Copies of this chain bind each other. A is one copy, B any other.
């Protein structure tokens, strides 16, 4: 089997004005859909965070994908790693740099998912069976809550639809207070059945965000696990002070502060498991994390760790070194969601509900449209590959969105400045 075609399609999907430590989501989130096609005309799908630089990176490795056997994934990963090393330093054998390693992991990760989808379809097996097989049929996800301005994103810009009801209404409603977040959580859980809640923080003063957690706890009861993610904009002292207030209230506290040393200091002082997708985000970061004890839970993300097989290897490292494993998300469509679910179904120690932005999106370039959660879970069945088929008309529309919207990279700071002139990202805000 040989890969004969490699299609790279940037898309833009509607995204509401969600607030985070870096600023504000633009009306569109950018993704890239990759498709590998085999000489026997089977295709496999992958998806990754988008932008012009991502498209350029993928175009640059086209010759390392086309002509390859999709089973020969490690060799392809090594060639892609070498390519970016050379691109950065001019020397194929140069020492790896963090930036080029991350570009390589991101590019290969999407191609690997597409190859596994292709292989699964070719041999009539779900992708999870290529990762050691399912250990669970249902993958729980958590409700991902955001402070937000009013608006739905996409073609409406940040306008709202006055006829919306249920989650569609909550999705476009403002949520700038603890009460607003509770209402958002109730609507999201009502619509999707999620049984744990994650709040994206780092937006308001820590007091407000801690009060939001307490409001959620009050509304949902202590049996619903809660997480807070200030995206590392708290100082160590702030993280310790507010962390102590949150003891007993959180399943885990995600990236309260920046860097492994800072996280380790907070971990020593606060009796809440710390989690990260910011200070330990690659295999190169793990020795420092293990040495310092900077977090107890790693948030995996196959888009950044180099694919599904690399994520299985990360899971082994977490088991070996006594670290927990959860899963990070960005705005995404169903290809990534299915890949995340297959991975989570196959990994024994992925015991936390996974993050997903999926409820915040509305478009879907897949036959059958939006994927459905069943009581907060995705059910991983036995359909070959990822178990999805591309809707090429819908994909073309989303690619049109990409061309028309004019966005070429995610820039939450610039978007925020449209609302709050002069607003600046601060690595440590409080």
Q: Are A321 and B287 in contact (CB under 8 A)?
A: yes
User: A274 an interface residue at 8 Å Cβ cutoff?
Assistant: no
Q: Are B320 and A75 in contact (CB under 8 A)?
A: no
Look across to chain B and name the residue whose beta carbon is closest to the beta carbon of A129. B71
Look across to chain B and name the residue whose beta carbon is closest to the beta carbon of A322. B287
Can you identify 24 A-B contacts, CB atoms within 8 angstroms?
A: A69-B133, A71-B125, A71-B133, A72-B129, A72-B133, A73-B133, A74-B131, A74-B133, A74-B135, A75-B135, A78-B348, A283-B316, A283-B319, A283-B320, A284-B320, A286-B321, A287-B290, A287-B322, A290-B290, A312-B313, A313-B316, A313-B317, A316-B317, A317-B320
User: A173 an interface residue at 8 Å Cβ cutoff?
Assistant: no
Count of identical protomers in the assembly: 2
User: A56 an interface residue at 8 Å Cβ cutoff?
Assistant: no
Q: Are A74 and B346 in contact (CB under 8 A)?
A: yes
Given A72-B129, A313-B312, verify A78-B283 contact (CB < 8 Å): no
Q: Report the separation of the CA atoms of residues A72 and B123 in the bound assembly, to the nearest whole angstrom.
A: 15
Residues on B with beta carbons closer than 8 Å to the beta carbon of A320: 283-284, 286-287, 317
New A-B contacts (6) at CB < 8 Å, excluding given A78-B348, A290-B290, A316-B317: A69-B133, A72-B133, A74-B346, A74-B348, A284-B320, A287-B290
Expressed in whole angstroms, the minimum distance between the Cβ of A370 and any Cβ of chain B is 29
Given A287-B321, A320-B287, verify A78-B135 contact (CB < 8 Å): yes
Look across to chain B and name the residue whose beta carbon is closest to the beta carbon of A73. B132
Residues on B with beta carbons closer than 8 Å to the beta carbon of A134: 72, 75
Encode contact with B along A157-195: 1 for CB under 8 Å, 0 otherwise: 000000000000000000000000000000000000000
Given A313-B316, A316-B316, A317-B317, verify A74-B132 contact (CB < 8 Å): yes
Expressed in whole angstroms, the minimum distance between the Cβ of A136 and any Cβ of chain B is 9
Q: Report the separation of the CA atoms of residues A74 and B312 in the bound assembly, to the nearest whole angstrom.
A: 11
Residues on B with beta carbons closer than 8 Å to the beta carbon of A303: none
Q: Report the separation of the CA atoms of residues A131 and B71 in the bound assembly, to the nearest whole angstrom.
A: 9
Residues on B with beta carbons closer than 8 Å to the beta carbon of A69: 129, 133
User: A338 an interface residue at 8 Å Cβ cutoff?
Assistant: no
Question: Which parts of A67-118 form the interface with B (CB within 8 Å)?
Answer: 69, 71-75, 78
Look across to chain B and name the residue whose beta carbon is closest to the beta carbon of A287. B321
Encode contact with B along A303-322: 1 for CB under 8 Å, 0 otherwise: 00000011011001101111
Q: Report the separation of the CA atoms of residues A312 and B290 in the bound assembly, to the nearest whole angstrom.
A: 20
Expressed in whole angstroms, the minimum distance between the Cβ of A388 and any Cβ of chain B is 20
In the A-B complex, the 6 residue pairs with the smallest Cβ-Cβ separation, listed nearest first, are: A72-B133, A74-B132, A313-B316, A71-B129, A283-B320, A123-B123
Q: Report the separation of the CA atoms of residues A321 and B284 in the bound assembly, to the nearest whole angstrom.
A: 8
Expressed in whole angstroms, the minimum distance between the Cβ of A58 and any Cβ of chain B is 21
Residues on B with beta carbons closer than 8 Å to the beta carbon of A283: 316, 319-320
Expressed in whole angstroms, the minimum distance between the Cβ of A308 and any Cβ of chain B is 11
Look across to chain B and name the residue whose beta carbon is closest to the beta carbon of A72. B133
Residues on B with beta carbons closer than 8 Å to the beta carbon of A71: 125, 129, 133
